[in-house]
Structure 1
Amino acid sequence: MRLPTVPPTAGLPLQAADLRPWGSENFAQALAHWLGVAEVQLECSGTSALMVALRTLKARQPQRSEVIAPAYTCPLVALAVAQCGLHLRLCDLRADTLDMDSACLQALCSEQTLAVLPTHLCGRVADVAAAVLCARAMGAYVIEDAAQALGARINHQSVGLQGDIGFFSLAVGKGLSTFEGGVLISRDAELARALQDHSRRHTRPERWWELRRSVELLGYAALYRPQGLHLAYGKPLQKSLARGDWVEAAGDDFDDFIPQHTLGRWRQRVGARALQRLRDFQQQTQAQAMARMTKLESLGLEVLGDAASDAQGIWPVILIRMPDMPSRNALLKAQWASGCGLSLPFVHVLPDYGRYQHVLAFAQQDTVTQARDWAQRLVAVSNSPWLDSSRFGGLLQDLQQAIGSQNKSA
C-alpha cells in the first residue's frame, strides 16, 4: 500500500465553505487587521509585488540601478530585478545564519544601490536591522522579502515593517494561498500611496490569467489532501528525480515572463475565509516544530532558528544543515522521491543555475562562497501535520543513517 504523499511545506488546506462564489468579505481589510497594519496592497503574486516595489522606487531615484539580494534566494528575484531594468548584485551569507554577511553587504552598497533585499527564508526571521544600517548609509531603500513568512513577527510586529517596503506571497505552499497572490505593506504612508498609484496605473485585470488561476485554485482545494497530493505533487516529483533534474523537482524552473494583473474578487474571498483559520494552524505547526527540533538536534544536526532577537518565525518547514554535501545528497537520493516531506528550499546559489545566467551579468563577479556552502548542505523537512509521528520517526532513522554512513566513509 502506497503511503500518502507529504507536501514539502505546511500549507493551510482549503475547505468547501471557502469556495463559495458569493460573499462580501474584504480580504485586504481582513489581512491588514490580521497583520496589525493600517492597510495592505494586493497583487497577483509575490514576484509581481516585488516588481511594483522596485519600479516605484526606481521612479523616485532613477539614477540608481542596482539591487542587492542574498546569493541564496529564489530565482524569481533575479528575473524580477531584470524585468525592471535593474542589475542584481549578490551578497554572500554569514557562516552561522542565512542572513547576508554585513561586511560583504557594506562592500556592495554604493551610490548605485537602489534597494537591499533582506530575506526571511522559509519563515525564519532575518536580521533586517543590519541591512537597514548599510542601506541608509548610501541612501538606498530596504525591501523585506517576506514571501515565505506571512505571519512571522519581530518585537510583536509583523515582518516587513523594519524596512521601507515588505512583501508576502500567497502562492501554493506558503501557508495561506489564493494559488498565486502577493501582498505589499509599508509603514511610510507616502510610499504606500506611491505603490498604490503605480499599481493603479500599470496593473490591469486579465480575464485569461484570472480564469486560469481560479481553475488552479479549485484544483489545489481538491488535491491538497494526503491522497490527492500523489497526483498533484508526488508523481511529477518522481518523474523529475528519475531524470536527475533536481531544479525541476524543487520547483526552481521558472519562465522569464512574470504575469502582472489584479487579484480577482472570488480568490480574494477565498483568501479572506481561509485567513480566519490561519493563526490556529500556525500555532499548531509551531508546537509541532518545537517538539521535532529537539529530536533532530539529539542526532547532532544543526537546526536553524531565527537570526533576529525577539523574533517569532513561522514553521512551514524545519531547516537543517547537514554536516556536508555528500551526506545531504545521499539522504535526498534515498528519500526525496518517497514523498516523506524532504525537499530543498532552492537547489543552488543563483550563479550556479545555468538557465538564469542571462539575468546575472552584473553579479558574476560577486563572491558567494559561504552561500554556496549553505546551498550544498541545507535540507528542508516538511512541517505539515500530515507528516505523522510514525513517518517522522522513520525520517529520523534515515537522517541518522545518512550521517553515520558519511562518518564511516570519512
Structure 2
Amino acid sequence: MRELPPTAGLPLRLTDLRPGRAALAAHMARWLGVEQLQLECSGTAAMVVALRAMQRLRPQRDEVVVPAWTCPLVALAIHRAGLKPRLCDLAPNHFDMDAALLAQICNERTLAIVPTHIAGRVADVQASLEVAHRHGAYVLEDAAQALGATQDGRSVGLLGDAGFFSLAVGKGLTLFEGGLLLARDTCLRDAFAASHDDTIHADAGMDWKRALELVGYTLAYRPSLLPLAYGRPLRKALAAHDPVAAVGDDFGPDIPLHTVSAWRQAVGARALPRLRPFLDTTRAQAVHRVARLRQIPGITVFDDAPGQRGAWPFLLLTLPDEAMRDSALETLWTAGLGVSRLFIHALPDYGYLRDIVADTPLPNARAFAARSLTITNSPWLDEATFETICQTLARAAGAGHAA
C-alpha cells in the first residue's frame, strides 16, 4: 500500500543525519539573498518573538489583525504574546483579506497586520502596508507555507516590515520543527534578537525529543511508510468524525519556546542545496496541473499573479459549494492520494479558540472553509493518479465528461 503526503516536502536522506554542527540561519540568509535571519524552534515561536518585540516598541498597541481563515496557531501565538487577535474576513472566494474591511477595522490599537501567503501563493502585502502605515502599525508576513516564494524577484517576508517561515513537517525544508524570522530594518532586527533572548531558552529534553522525531520523519516520509505514520491516524480521525484531528488542527495551548540544536541545524544545512532544484521541479509540475484543473467547470484554483513566483507545497482550490466539495472528499480523502483540507474552520469555529477570538460574522471565511480542498504537489503523485483526482472533481462539480 502507498500513501501520498498532503504536502510536497523535501525528503531528507540518511546522510543528512550524520553528526555535525552548523549555523543554519547564516546558510538560509545566503540562500534567500537577505542580510540576516533569526532561527527559532517553530514558525509559531517566531511569531511570538516578533510580536513581543513589536509590542515593546509600540506599547500602547495590543491588537493584531489576521485573516479569519488561517492556521489556529496564529491565534494561539498572538494570545501567547499577550495580545488580542482581530479577525478580518476574506475577499469573496479568495484566501486574501478583504481590503475594504481591513481598512475599516484597523485603528490606533492595531500593532500589526498579518497578510498570509497561503499554500505558497503570494498574498497582497501592499494592501496591508497601505493600511498599516496610515495607522502606525507593522506588517508581519506569515510566510509559513511559502519558503522560496518571491514577488518581483524579492523574497516574501521582506515585502512588509518583517516575516517568518516555517520549517515544520512537510514543508519545503524541515527540521521536524523550526522557524525563520526576518526583518527589513536593523531596528526591528535588534528588537527581535532582544526578544529572542528574553523568550527562548535551552531545553535539553526538547532537543532530544525533536532529534528523535526528525530521525523518525526521515525514515517514514516515503509512500511505503506513510500509511502507518500518516494514513492510519487520518482514517481513524475521519472515522470518529473529527476532521480537525484529521488535518492536525487540534492544537493545545502550550507553545514550545526553546533553542534549536546545532545538530538539527546541520541536518537542514545539508539538505538545503537540494531545495532549489526541488522547488523548481514542483513548480513546473504545478503549472501543468493548475492548467488541467482549470478545464473543470466550477473549479477555482489559485495561481501566481504577474510578478509572483510562489512556492507549491500543494494546490489550493475551491468547488462551487460545500456539498460538491464533500462529495469529492468522500472519495478522495481516504484514498491515499494526497487530497486533504487545509484549515477546517474559520478561527471562531474552533472550540478551543472560543476564549481567544471573538465570534463575528465572517461569511466569506466560512464559505472558503466549506468549499476548499487541497491536492498534494508531491513528485510522488504521478500523472495517471492526478488525472483520477481530476475526474473525481469533475463528477463532484457536476461537469462529468465535459471537463
Task: State the partner residue of 2:375.
Answer: 381
CA distance, structure 2, for counterparts of residue 343 and residue 110 of structure 1: 37
Task: State the partner residue of 2:387.
Answer: 393
Task: State the partner residue of 1:277.
Answer: 274
Partner deviation per Cα, 1:162-198 (whole Å, 9 max, x = no partner): 2111000000011100000000001111210110121
Q: What is the correspondence of 1:165-314 to structure 2 with a 5 Å cutoff?
A: 165-300=162-297, 301-306=299-304, 309-314=306-311
Partner deviation per Cα, 1:237-292 (whole Å, 9 max, x = no partner): 01011111101001110000000011111110001111110000000000111111
CA contact (8 A) 2:102 2:131 kept: yes
Query: 1:202 Cα deviation (Å)?
Result: 2.6
Return the match for 1:20 from 12, 18, 21.
Answer: 18
Task: State the partner residue of 1:103.
Answer: 100
Q: Which letter maps to 1:261? A: H
DSSP-derived class of the 2:86 partner: strand
Partner deviation per Cα, 1:31-84 (whole Å, 9 max, x = no partner): 001111001000000000000000001111111111100000000011111111
Task: State the partner residue of 1:66.
Answer: 63
Q: Which letter maps to 1:353? A: Y
Query: 1:220 Cα deviation (Å)?
Result: 0.2
Return the match for 2:362 from 331, 344, 368.
Answer: 368
Q: What is the correspondence of 1:74-89 to structure 2 with a 5 Å cutoff?
A: 74-89=71-86
Q: Which letter maps to 2:216? A: G
CA distance, structure 2, for counterparts of residue 7 and residue 47 of structure 1: 22
CA distance, structure 2, for counterparts of residue 245 and residue 96 of structure 1: 25
Partner deviation per Cα, 1:198-255 (whole Å, 9 max, x = no partner): 1123311101111101100000000001101111101110101111110100111000
Query: 1:26 Cα deviation (Å)?
Result: 3.0
Query: 1:355 Cα deviation (Å)?
Result: 2.1
DSSP-derived class of the 1:118 partner: coil
Poorly superposed stretches of 4+, deviation over 6 Å = none
CA contact (8 A) 2:46 2:180 kept: yes
Say whether 1:402 aligns with 2:400.
no
Q: Which letter maps to 1:364? A: D
TM (normalized to structure 2)?
0.97
Q: What is the correspondence of 1:31-70 to structure 2 with a 5 Å cutoff?
A: 31-70=28-67
CA distance, structure 2, for counterparts of residue 104 and residue 184 of structure 1: 28
CA distance, structure 2, for counterparts of residue 76 and residue 26 of structure 1: 27
Query: 1:339 Cα deviation (Å)?
Result: 1.1
Query: 1:96 Cα deviation (Å)?
Result: 4.8
CA contact (8 A) 1:69 1:90 kept: yes
CA contact (8 A) 2:89 2:362 kept: yes
| Compared CA separation, residues 355 and 26, structure 1 to 2 (3 A) | closer
CA contact (8 A) 2:9 2:172 kept: yes
CA contact (8 A) 1:327 1:406 kept: no
CA distance, structure 2, for counterparts of residue 388 and residue 43 of structure 1: 35
Task: State the partner residue of 2:4.
Answer: 6
Unmatched tracts of structure 2, length 5 or more: none
CA distance, structure 2, for counterparts of residue 282 and residue 305 of structure 1: 15
Query: 1:358 Cα deviation (Å)?
Result: 1.4
Aligned residues: 400
CA contact (8 A) 1:344 1:379 kept: yes
Task: State the partner residue of 2:316.
Answer: 319
Task: Output the aligned Cα RMSD.
Answer: 1.4
CA distance, structure 2, for counterparts of residue 309 and residue 74 of structure 1: 26
DSSP-derived class of the 2:315 partner: strand
Partner deviation per Cα, 1:354-386 (whole Å, 9 max, x = no partner): 2211111xx323x31111111111110100011
Say whether 1:343 aligns with 2:337.
no
CA distance, structure 1, for counterparts of residue 295 and residue 244 of structure 2: 31
Identity level (%): 50
DSSP-derived class of the 2:323 partner: helix
Query: 1:405 Cα deviation (Å)?
Result: 8.0
CA contact (8 A) 2:290 2:303 kept: no
Q: Name which of structure 1's ranges 182-191 and 367-376 shifts more when overlaid on structure 2.
A: 367-376
Task: State the partner residue of 1:133.
Answer: 130
Q: Name which of structure 1's ranges 212-221 and 25-34 shifts more when overlaid on structure 2.
A: 25-34
CA distance, structure 2, for counterparts of residue 317 and residue 185 of structure 1: 24
DSSP-derived class of the 1:392 partner: helix
Q: Name which of structure 1's ranges 310-319 and 198-207 shifts more when overlaid on structure 2.
A: 198-207
Unmatched tracts of structure 1, length 5 or more: none
TM (normalized to structure 1)?
0.95
CA distance, structure 2, for counterparts of residue 99 and residue 404 of structure 1: 27
